[in-house]
Structures are given as structure tokens and as C-alpha cells.
Amino acid sequence: MGEQIDFRWRYQPRKETDIKLMEYIQSNPIRAKSEIILVAIRSFWLPHAITTNSGDNKQIQSIARSSIQVLKRQAQEIGELAGLEESYGIFTTHPGANKQTLGILPNISGKLVGDRLENCVYDDGGLSNFL
């Protein structure tokens, strides 16, 4: 692996929803703060970071596929958690959107797509453990 980076982030939420989010992350007895935050950040931002810093199309595509699968599971988990009847496991482009824009559209069939998020194992070990 490359050099280590010390990343610090300080945030004092003002919105009620952000306060609830930070309290949840801070007091979660099952997952560490870093793990919770990294799962969310990697899911969306890792493909951007790799695309910016790599010319290896196979690596970019592999990471993109992994990220899309994680985002699908996250969308499914959110729908189940909220008791939504429709499934949000299908990713497609919106009409009129450019090719790089992904949107989440309801899966009317309601069947499960992928695993539930809590069945996935993530750690803070870097890119090799994310794939």
C-alpha cells in the first residue's frame, strides 16, 4: 500500500436530522464510526477518485461494478428499513440525462435484488478489502 494519510473532519451539526445522524454514528454499538462513514463514502466517491487517478480501465470498471452493487444493497436496505413497498434495487439512467448520471428507480416487481446491507462485511483495510 501507499503512504498513510491522516484525515480529520470536524462537524457541528445544526439541522435536527444531521444531529440525529451524528448521534447515531457516535453511539452505534455494532460498527465503528470510521466503518460507518467509509462505507457511505466509498460507495459513491471511490469510483470518482480512482477514475481521476488511474488510467487502468479494467480497475475502474471493477471498482464501478462493486460500488454499484453496494449502492443497490444500500437502496434496498433503506427501502426495507422504511417499510416501503416498492424495491429500489434497479439502477438506470433517467431520460434526457447524460450517460454518467445514475438514478434509482423503483423496481415494481418488488423482488429482492442483492443481499441486505447488514450481510456485507466492510472494514477500514483499504481498497483491497472493499472489492
**For the chain, where are the E strands, in sequence order?**
87-92, 103-107
Q: Are the C-beta atoms of residues 105 and 90 closer than 8 Å to each other?
A: yes
Q: List phi, psi (to 5°) of 91.
A: -105, 135
pLDDT of residue 19: 96
Question: What average pLDDT does this structure show over 62-80?
Answer: 93
Q: Please say whether the dihedral angle defined by the alpha carbons of residues 39, 41, 44 and 50, taken in this order, is positive or negative.
A: negative
Q: Would you place residue 120 in the very low, low, confident or very high pLDDT band (cuts 50, 70, 90)? A: very low
User: Going along 2-130, which residue ranges are E strands?
Assistant: 87-92, 103-107
**Which H or E run contains 51?**
helix 33-53
Looking at residue 89, what is its pLDDT?
Answer: 54
Centre a 10 Å sphere on the Cβ of residue 87 and count the other Cβ atoms it contains: 19
Write down how long the chain is: 131
| pLDDT higher than threshold 90 for residue 24 | yes
Write the burial class of residue 95 (CB in 10 Å: 0-12 exposed, 13-18 middle, 19+ buried). exposed
Q: pLDDT confidence of 53, banded at 50, 70, 90?
A: confident
